[in-house]
């Protein structure tokens, strides 16, 4: 009899142990979730560039002489600051200088001959006028009067012709001086020399038609910069001149710069294997920050389309399918799915128009395996 009782005890204990093991193995295991509070704050609707933008100088001139020749004067070097009108480069031009001097003297001689011819014309006209008075008094024949008047007209025509010749001579001198100026490269604005292609005594030639060649001097205005960034064509209709923007630079990752849209492209760029975009230019709001910049820096822009300063918001990463979120209930220790009505949004936050209340907590690691409506959950560290 004692043996039978012992066997029943063993059997009962085995069944209990098996049940406990089955319960342990099949029990609902909580998943770990990361939550953020539903709170009030600032939400902005923004448009960001699809690819990296570029910092450009407001003025940049890639300069080359208008004619070919040998460099005889190169008073600047890369990195030099120059002022408007400063000489940057000069080609050999002694022949043009001599020609300009000759033309100057020739023009002077032509003007002297013109003055002399005009003086003779004035004398002849006065004499013709006197002959006219004598003819009225019957003291001079009509034949002599006609001869005097004809001579006065001829000398007047000679005066006009000599004036025209003098003007032609001056014009020719102007052409020579213009050609002389083409041998001298001067700064069209103040800036910094970014690049020089050429050395003393080297020959430079102008670019053939359709074949671009490197500029002799690359001049950059280092006091004014803006950013050109490609925006998705879907966002382009929402962007207008004057909208505020934020600019970030890879070279200065620790800060953002305030900016403003200064131009929106007038056509769509069709990039192969990429989304179609519209170039947007954003200028820096503060002039003092431009001293830190270099043309060619990569940049990103975020154009602020709308601002709601005090509205209910949640992290954008917590939203699924545009209108679903998982809310963590501390009381139940479970996750509950809710539908929301979203408002404006950006990468960081989305406005909530309905479906949630301040103080609730939403799950942000929505890609966690096993997360679904009603699932048991814990916070990091085992907190409920």
Model pLDDT, residue 226 = 94
Q: What are phi and psi of 111, to 5 degrees?
A: -65, -35
CA–CA dist 176, 181 (Å, integer): 9
Model pLDDT, residue 18 = 57
CA–CA dist 51, 36 (Å, integer): 30
3-state secondary structure of 208: coil
Domain map (residue ranges) of the chain: 48-58+221-308, 66-91+184-219, 94-181
CA 139 to chain centre: 87
Per-residue HEC secondary structure of 292-303 comes to HCCCCCEEEEEE
The radius of gyration computed from the CA coordinates of the chain, to the nearest angstrom, equals 44
CATH classification for the domain delimited by 66-91+184-219, as one of 2.160.20.10, 2.60.40.1180, 2.40.50.100, 3.60.15.10: 2.40.50.100
Model pLDDT, residue 294 = 86
For 154-251, strand residue ranges (E) read 184-186, 191-196, 203-204, 217-220, 225-232, 244-249
**Among 194, 247, 177, 172, residue whose Cα is nearest residue 82:** 194
94, HSE (Cβ side, Cα atoms, 13 Å): 3
Residues forming beta bridges with residue 329, ordered by sequence position: 334
What pTM did the predictor assign?
0.66
Model pLDDT, residue 25 = 47
Class level of CATH domain 48-58+221-308: mainly beta
CA–CA dist 28, 334 (Å, integer): 11
**Among 201, 227, 371, 372, residue whose Cα is nearest residue 293:** 227
Q: How confident is the prediction along the chain (384 residues), in pLDDT tens digits per residue?
A: 555 666 666 667 666 655 555 544 445 678 888 999 999 999 999 999 988 999 999 999 998 888 888 999 999 999 899 999 999 999 998 888 888 788 788 888 888 888 888 888 888 888 888 888 887 888 778 888 788 888 888 888 888 888 888 888 888 888 888 888 888 999 999 999 999 998 888 888 876 666 777 889 999 998 889 999 999 988 999 999 999 999 999 888 888 999 999 999 988 887 656 678 999 999 999 888 887 888 889 999 999 999 999 999 999 999 999 899 999 988 888 999 999 999 999 889 999 999 999 989 999 998 888 888 989 988 886 555
Model pLDDT, residue 293 = 86
The H or E element containing residue 257 is: strand 252-264
Model pLDDT, residue 23 = 46
């Amino acid at each position: 009899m004692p043996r039978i009782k012992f066997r029943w005890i063993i059997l009962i204990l085995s069944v209990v142990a098996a049940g406990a093991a089955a319960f342990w193995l099949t029990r609902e295991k909580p998943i770990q979730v990361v939550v953020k509070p539903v709170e009030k704050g600032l939400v902005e609707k923004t448009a960001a560039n699809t690819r990296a933008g570029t910092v450009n100088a407001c003025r940049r001139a890639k300069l080359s002489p208008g004619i070919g020749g040998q460099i005889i004067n190169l008073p600047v070097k890369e990195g030099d600051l120059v002022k408007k009108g400063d000489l940057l480069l000069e080609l050999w031009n002694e022949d043009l200088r001599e020609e300009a001097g000759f033309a100057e003297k020739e023009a002077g001689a032509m003007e002297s001959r013109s003055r002399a011819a005009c003086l003779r014309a004035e004398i002849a006209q006065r004499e013709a006028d006197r002959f006219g008075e004598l003819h009225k008094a019957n003291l001079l024949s009509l034949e002599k009067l006609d001869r005097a008047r004809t001579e006065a007209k001829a000398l007047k025509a000679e005066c006009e012709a000599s004036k025209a010749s003098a003007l032609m001579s001056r014009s020719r001198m102007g052409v020579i001086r213009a050609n002389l100026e083409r041998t001298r490269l001067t700064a069209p604005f103040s800036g910094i020399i970014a690049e020089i292609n050429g050395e003393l005594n080297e020959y430079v030639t102008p670019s053939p038609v359709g074949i671009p060649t490197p500029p002799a001097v690359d001049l950059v205005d280092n006091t004014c910069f803006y950013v050109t960034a490609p925006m998705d064509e879907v966002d382009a209709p929402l962007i207008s001149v004057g909208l505020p923007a934020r600019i970030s630079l890879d070279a200065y990752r620790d800060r953002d710069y305030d900016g403003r849209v200064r131009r929106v492209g007038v056509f769509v760029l069709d990039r192969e294997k990429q989304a179609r975009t519209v170039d947007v230019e954003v200028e820096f709001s503060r002039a003092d920050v431009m001293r830190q910049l270099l043309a060619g820096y990569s940049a990103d822009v975020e154009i602020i389309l709308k601002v709601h300063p005090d509205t209910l918001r949640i992290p954008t990463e917590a939203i699924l399918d545009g209108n679903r979120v998982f809310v963590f209930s501390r009381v139940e220790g479970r996750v509950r799915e809710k539908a929301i009505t979203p408002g404006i949004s950006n990468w960081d936050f989305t406005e909530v128009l309905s479906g949630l209340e301040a103080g609730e907590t939403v799950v942000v690691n929505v890609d966690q395996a096993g997360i679904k409506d009603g699932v048991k959950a814990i916070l990091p560290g085992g907190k409920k």
